[in-house]
Structure 1
Amino acid sequence: MKQKIKPKNKKQTKALLNPLKSKMNLLKIGKKSLLNRFIIPIASIVLFLGIWYLGAEYLRNREIDFRVEKVMNDQGIAEAKALKACFETNDSECQTNTLPSPIQVWTSVKSLINDYYLIRKDKEDFLAKTQVINQQREAAGESPIIYTGRPSFVDIVFTSLKTVFAGFLLAFIIAVPIGIFIGLSNTLRSTFNWFIQVFKPVSPVVWYLLVFMVVKTLLIETSSDNSFVISFISVGLCSMWATLVNTTMGVSSVDKDYINVSKVLKLKPLQKVFKIVLPSSLPLIFTGLRITLSVAWMVLIAIELLAQSPGLGLFVWEEFQNGANDSNSKIIVAMFVIGIIGFLLDRMMLFVQNMISYNKNSIA
């Protein structure tokens, strides 16, 4: 038999209650964490979908009422009743051209996934049919026959990612060295400040037109499609300014004591840059790179549309022009894909930034 311990005084009573309070506090913290991490986000998603559904239904009913009333005034009551009945059956011939509901968007998601598998099988069949012919053409020094069918939505997404990373790499190659060079000298900062302030706010459309003029002339003798080259150069030039400014600020704000130490150690200019300047300015440089990647992803859609590059920008525009029954739903799918990829790219850069930053608490 276990003997019950009876507290003799207040101190013993508190000592017995402390473990119980600690357990209760842990339970409260666990419940609060569960609430904040799972229940509230799920509730907000359900609320968002509910508001979206109700809004889509309101807009749909508003368009139906307008079209039915118009038919009634133009063609009579019988035609108006037939049109209303057609809308109630949700037939493909009677669809509204307004904000699609979450159900319609999910249907388009499944349709795009199904298209991806169909197109992939079509590519595999094409490669199997042309394998022998292509081997003969390559042996004869001729170019192989390539698949020219329409790309799937997955191919379109990867094209956009390839373009944005190429543009981001170009921005990095241009902005970081120039930012270091300008940041090391007050005279150079004053000299190039006007250039940065004038060209930084220029619209991506204007950058595209400028790049188009230059690339079209430089590659005038080639007959290949230059849309990818024009797209990634435009993206890089449009998005590099945050990295350029942050790199210049980071280099110019390096502690003077560090600079004096490099003089005492008699470091060469390149040694000074790589051993003193860069390690001290890396947090600001990566902040600029994070902004640059976000800007690159945002301007990519407009630039792909203008350059007719087969990415998400062109996909959205073609669906808008297409006017098919599921075009609006596919545009919303593309919108969510763009937003999710943009969020993941930002988290990726934040992860890298946190790895090299000495002040992780200030980064979010």
Structure 2
Amino acid sequence: MATVFADRHDPETPTMEGATGSGSVSVGGKVAVPDAETATAEPKKPNPAVAKGAALAKGLIAPVLGVLAFLALWGVLAPQVDTSLGALPGPVEVAEQGVALYDEWVAGKEAEAQFYADQNARNTAAIAAGNPAGVRDFTYAGAPTFLDQIFTSLKTVALGFILATLVAVPIGLAAGLSPLFNAAINPLIQIMKPVSPLAWLPIVTMVISAMITNADPLLPKAFVISALVVMLCSLWPTLINTAVGTASIDKDLLAVGRVLKLGTFAKLTKLVLPASLPYIFTGMRLSLGVGWMVLIAAEMLAQNPGLGKFVWDEFQNGSSQSLARIMFAVVVIGFIGFGLDRIMMALQALVSKNRTI
């Protein structure tokens, strides 16, 4: 077995200093030990400026370059594609229609403000003339603009997502805590989960139309229909992830709860919910994404107000600008979906700060 000598060497065997002068190399098969300075030297730390530049390149420069490459490829290939409405619009044409849609929204708001100003002037004149019966309060009935459709879709998906969460989380908690209950509802979940929103839409429409018969309901009928379709199609990821997270809680933790004689509510709030919170938020993020996709399809099919109806109306319009407007709406839909996901991530981080388990 080879032996390393640290404290002696053969005087007849010369040694050579290393190229750096910080250690020695043996000649004739023996090994010399580096000097104390080299043995105790710390590894060289990376340059902070270099590390910061690398992080910046990875987090900002690379995505920007990817987007620019995509836009360049789009701009080159788009004119080569001919459709019934002309050549496929490039990024510049789509951006121009985005500006035009914003100008339409500004013009619509000015027209609405002018409408109410004229109405107030007429009512004031009628009261001054001693004719209170001539006072009329009408609601502006102008066509909704693109931004109005965005707000409508956001309100609809928010209501559907809230309803889905209120239904899915309690059922998921019960399924995770009770294997018997989980076995009972599992077949129903597996059957209902793959059902398309296009199949739910006529059922929900008929049920809501039969239930809401008031001429002036609290919520518009089309709004309720779209929100319920979103709920029925988006609750499953939250339900399943909540059940999985609850079932994976450490059994010793639940045993501690039994030893401390915690009640059902205390066990849920102190043990179950904090431990399963990451799973719940993962399911909620998935549900929100599914709900946003489902909403656009439901609005297109049912012609309910929102971005889906805007896309369908532009498709039916068939003007030279329709295709560019549709593509701009698609880009906006994607950005909104991305933004909703970031909001859920931020909310999860905020709630998880005070987790005790």
TM class by shorter-chain length?
Answer: 0.7 to 0.9
Shift, 1:132, TM fit: 5.8
**1:218: which partner in 2?**
211
**1:29: which partner in 2?**
51
Residues 1-364 of structure 1: pairs in structure 2 closer than 5 A: 10=22, 25-60=47-82, 96-131=85-120, 144-222=137-215, 225-357=220-352
Which aligned runs of 4 or more in structure 1 are off by greater than 4 angstroms?
A: 9-14, 132-137
The answer to whether the 8 A contact 2:300-2:312 is kept is: yes
- Partner Cα distance (2:161, 2:327) in 1: 26
- Partner Cα distance (2:54, 2:232) in 1: 46
Which of structures 1 and 2 has the bigger CA Rg? 2
The answer to whether the 8 A contact 1:168-1:235 is kept is: yes
Shift, 1:143, TM fit: 8.9
Distance 1:219 1:96, change over 3 A: closer
- CA displacement 1:314-347 (0-9 Å, x = unmatched): 0001001101111000001101100011001111
- Partner Cα distance (1:340, 1:212) in 2: 29
- CA displacement 1:139-166 (0-9 Å, x = unmatched): 98x9941111011211111111111111
The answer to whether the 8 A contact 1:230-1:307 is kept is: no
- Partner Cα distance (1:207, 1:143) in 2: 42
CA RMSD of aligned residues (A): 3.0
The answer to whether the 8 A contact 1:160-1:300 is kept is: yes
Distance 1:262 1:134, change over 3 A: farther
Distance 1:148 1:250, change over 3 A: same
Shift, 1:119, TM fit: 0.5
- Opposite residue 284 of structure 1, the aligned amino acid is Y
- Opposite residue 109 of structure 2, the aligned amino acid is R
Shift, 1:13, TM fit: 10
TM-score (norm: length of structure 2): 0.80
Name the SS of the counterpart of 1:222 in structure 2: coil
The number of residue pairs the alignment matches comes to 314
- Partner Cα distance (2:36, 2:58) in 1: 37
The answer to whether the 8 A contact 2:85-2:323 is kept is: no
The answer to whether the 8 A contact 2:79-2:87 is kept is: no
- Opposite residue 128 of structure 1, the aligned amino acid is A
- Opposite residue 248 of structure 2, the aligned amino acid is S
Shift, 1:40, TM fit: 2.4
- Partner Cα distance (1:320, 1:96) in 2: 10
Shift, 1:221, TM fit: 4.5
Distance 1:258 1:132, change over 3 A: farther
Shift, 1:27, TM fit: 3.6
Shift, 1:219, TM fit: 1.2
Name the SS of the counterpart of 1:344 in structure 2: helix
- Partner Cα distance (1:284, 1:26) in 2: 36
The answer to whether the 8 A contact 2:249-2:275 is kept is: yes
**1:77: which partner in 2?**
none
The answer to whether the 8 A contact 1:164-1:296 is kept is: yes
Shift, 1:309, TM fit: 1.8
The answer to whether the 8 A contact 1:290-1:349 is kept is: yes
Where does the alignment leave 5 or more consecutive residues of structure 1 unmatched?
Answer: 1-8, 64-94
- Opposite residue 141 of structure 2, the aligned amino acid is T
Higher helix share: 1
Name the SS of the counterpart of 1:274 in structure 2: helix
Shift, 1:179, TM fit: 1.5
TM-score (norm: length of structure 1): 0.78
The answer to whether the 8 A contact 1:134-1:145 is kept is: no
Give me the identity figure in percent.
42
Name the SS of the counterpart of 2:281 in structure 1: helix
- Opposite residue 182 of structure 1, the aligned amino acid is A
Shift, 1:51, TM fit: 0.8
Name the SS of the counterpart of 1:103 in structure 2: helix
